[in-house]
């Protein structure tokens, strides 16, 4: 049985409602990949991290080098990940990060992993991919190198760019703004000495990705460089962001680092907008970020007690500001 060249799932022609379906087993892609690639149509698949346990087992057993890809807007996601392999930390999508922030600041993230090297890249802009290739060549233990990370980190997009830049082959992997695009491991030979193995993305608990519709995903995934929105708050007010969350503050300087497609409604009086959502009261220290998992963050200048109203499935926390 052969695998779909786009997402790694085993091809089957028995059940049109199950993953891997194709009318003709000689096809290169499953029906779902065909639809994403040609019509930008997407069926959401329901994945859990149980699907990932075997992938991690295989990776640890192989002892091969791992590239851990992390979306620049989701840096804390990897804090608790454990893996015994050597890891090159790859921070992706630098093209969307606001100007004026140094790579050094971003690379300063804490993990429990055996990080042997770190790099910031943009597959979209071809930024630092040659440098990443030389780091891989320096650290690889064998021909095989695994690419892992949370869903939507940009794993398949990066491997497609490697194929384009460094091999004679087509860039086949299916990529999309929806979570869980890649469904199983897939070996991608780049040259005689390097085969990259794409893996399905981990699911991040508490991320807005897990509950967003496809319309919403288009809005929240930044399509271009983020222009942060600044609000000077001098009297009590509420700001509602795209009906996703509301923030109440009284005396502050708020910098929203999120997709430019989001909209902002400002209220100077008590409002009941999003009042039915979960209320989170945060005792924020000066120069902190309030992180809305999967969406981005709000840099808060002054220490203040701030209320957030948001869906209870989305996790919200504070950290020392990255900016
Ligand atoms: N701006 C920007 N977007 C990117 C970049 N790399 C990937 N993306 C976008 O991020 C989204 C997810 O990309 P994928 O390559 O499918 O991510 P993945 O990690 O393979 O996701 P799963 O297969 O679901 O685990 C797509 O909308 C990509 O276009 C980049 O360098 N810059
Ligand atoms: Mg993928």
What pTM did the predictor assign? 0.93
Widest pairwise Cα distance in the chain:
66
pLDDT confidence band for 51 (50 / 70 / 90): confident
Nearest CA to ligand 1 atom 14: 154
296 lines ligand 1 (CB under 6 A): no
Cα atoms in the 13 Å half-sphere on the side-chain side of 197? 18
Q: Is the CB of 179 under 6 A from ligand 1?
A: yes
How far apart, in whole angstroms, are the C-alpha atoms of residue 29 and residue 2? 10
Write the pLDDT tens digit of every residue in 183-229. Answer: 999 999 999 999 999 999 999 999 999 999 888 998 999 999 999 99
For residue 129, the CA-to-ligand 1 centroid distance in Å is 15
- Residue scoring higher pLDDT (104 or 120): 120
Report which listed range, 38-42, 168-172, 187-191, is most confident.
187-191
pLDDT of res. 261: 97
Half-sphere exposure of 16 (CA within 13 A, CB side): 2
Measure the CA angle with vertex 318, ends 314 and 323; round to 5°: 115
Q: Which residues contact 265 (CB under 8 A, 6 or more apart)?
A: 239, 240, 273
pLDDT confidence band for 52 (50 / 70 / 90): confident
Q: Which ligand is nearest to the CA of 125?
A: 1
Protein residues with C-beta less than 5 angstroms from the ion ligand 2:
155-156, 181-182
Domains of the chain: 1-42 (no CATH), 44-204 (3.40.50.300), 221-320 (no CATH)
Listed as own residue / partner, the contacts of 240-244 with beta carbons closer than 8 Å and 24 or more positions apart are 240/264, 240/265, 240/267, 240/271, 240/273, 240/274, 243/273, 243/274, 244/208, 244/216, 244/220, 244/292, 244/295, 244/310, 244/311
pLDDT tens-digit readout, 222-266: 999 999 999 999 999 999 999 999 999 999 999 999 999 999 999
Confidence of residue 42 (pLDDT cuts 50, 70, 90): confident
Q: Is 175 in the pocket of ligand 1 (CB under 6 A)?
A: yes
Asked whether the predicted pLDDT for residue 287 surpasses 90, the reply is yes
Nearest CA to ligand 1 atom 1: 93
**What pLDDT does residue 102 have?**
75
Supply the pLDDT for residue 303. Answer: 97
- Please give the average per-residue pLDDT across 282-311, as a whole number: 97
Q: CB of 199 within 8 A of CB of 175?
A: no
The answer to whether the CB of 122 is under 6 A from ligand 1 is yes
């Amino acid at each position: 049985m052969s695998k779909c060249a786009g997402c790694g799932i085993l091809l089957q022609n028995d059940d049109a409602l199950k993953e891997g379906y194709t009318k003709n087993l000689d096809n290169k892609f499953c029906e779902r990949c065909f639809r994403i690639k040609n019509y930008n149509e997407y069926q959401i698949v329901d994945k859990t991290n149980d699907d990932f346990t075997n992938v991690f087992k295989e990776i640890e057993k192989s002892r091969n080098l791992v590239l851990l890809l992390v979306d620049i807007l989701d840096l804390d996601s990897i804090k608790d990940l454990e893996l015994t392999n050597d890891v090159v930390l790859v921070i992706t999508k630098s093209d969307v990060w606001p100007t004026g922030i140094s790579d050094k600041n971003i690379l300063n993230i804490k993990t429990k992993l055996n990080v042997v090297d770190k790099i910031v890249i943009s597959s979209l802009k071809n930024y630092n991919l040659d440098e990443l290739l030389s780091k891989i060549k320096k650290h690889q233990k064998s021909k095989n190198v695994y690419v892992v990370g949370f869903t939507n980190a940009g794993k398949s997009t990066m491997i497609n760019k490697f194929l384009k830049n460094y091999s004679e082959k087509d860039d086949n992997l299916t990529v999309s703004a929806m979570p869980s695009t890649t469904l199983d491991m897939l070996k991608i030979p780049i040259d005689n000495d390097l085969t990259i193995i794409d893996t399905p993305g981990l699911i991040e608990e508490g991320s807005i990705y897990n509950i967003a519709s496809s319309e919403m995903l288009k809005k929240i995934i930044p399509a271009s460089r983020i222009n942060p929105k600044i609000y000077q708050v001098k009297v009590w007010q509420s700001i509602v962001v795209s009906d996703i969350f509301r923030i109440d503050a009284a005396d502050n300087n708020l910098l929203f680092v999120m997709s430019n497609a989001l909209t902002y409604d400002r209220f100077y009086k008590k409002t009941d907008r999003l009042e039915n959502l979960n209320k989170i009261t945060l005792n924020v220290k000066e120069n902190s970020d309030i992180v809305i998992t999967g969406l981005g963050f709000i840099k808060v200048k002054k220490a203040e007690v701030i209320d957030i109203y948001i869906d209870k499935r989305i996790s919200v926390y504070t950290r020392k500001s990255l900016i």
